[in-house]
Amino acid sequence: MDDFKTDMEINATKLESHFLPSVFSTIRHHLHDYANKYIRNINNNNIRNISDEEFQAIKTLRNNKEIIISRADKGNAIVVMDKKDYIEKANNILQLKQFQHTTKSLQKEKEEEMNKYLRE
């Protein structure tokens, strides 16, 4: 995008010697407006790398409240699971002995430990 702005400015300077100052000022103003509209248009457009059908399928899946869509634990993949199964598996994991309920938040304590370590 910066290259586009630079090119527009360079080309405008090349035109300057061929026009009266008042005419050049008008041209420069129009070029500036055009460049800004072009840049705004590009920044506001989300260019998809999937087809309309694929986009619609993803949208339908996202709106389905009976499924969970998440990243896989391993690999660069996405997992689609039944919401009930997902909640059941999460609860099973939380029931394991390696986890325990706590009433106080350890966040502040861990944060202070980390800050102390970083200061050393």
User: How much is the average pLDDT of 109-118?
Assistant: 89
Instruction: Give 43-91 pLDDT, tens digit per residue.
Output: 766 667 888 899 999 999 999 999 999 988 888 898 999 999 999 999 9
Residue of 93 and 40 predicted with greater confidence? 93
pLDDT, residue 2, reads 64
pTM of this structure: 0.42
Domain segments of the chain: what residues? 2-44, 49-100
H, E, C per residue of the chain: CHHHHHHHHHHHHHHHCCCCHHHHHHHHHHHHHHHHHHHHHHHHCCCCCCCHHHHHHHHHHHHCCCEEEEECCCCCCEEEEEHHHHHHHHHHHHCCCCCCCCCCCCHHHHHHHHHHHHHC
Residue 16 has pLDDT above 90, yes or no: no
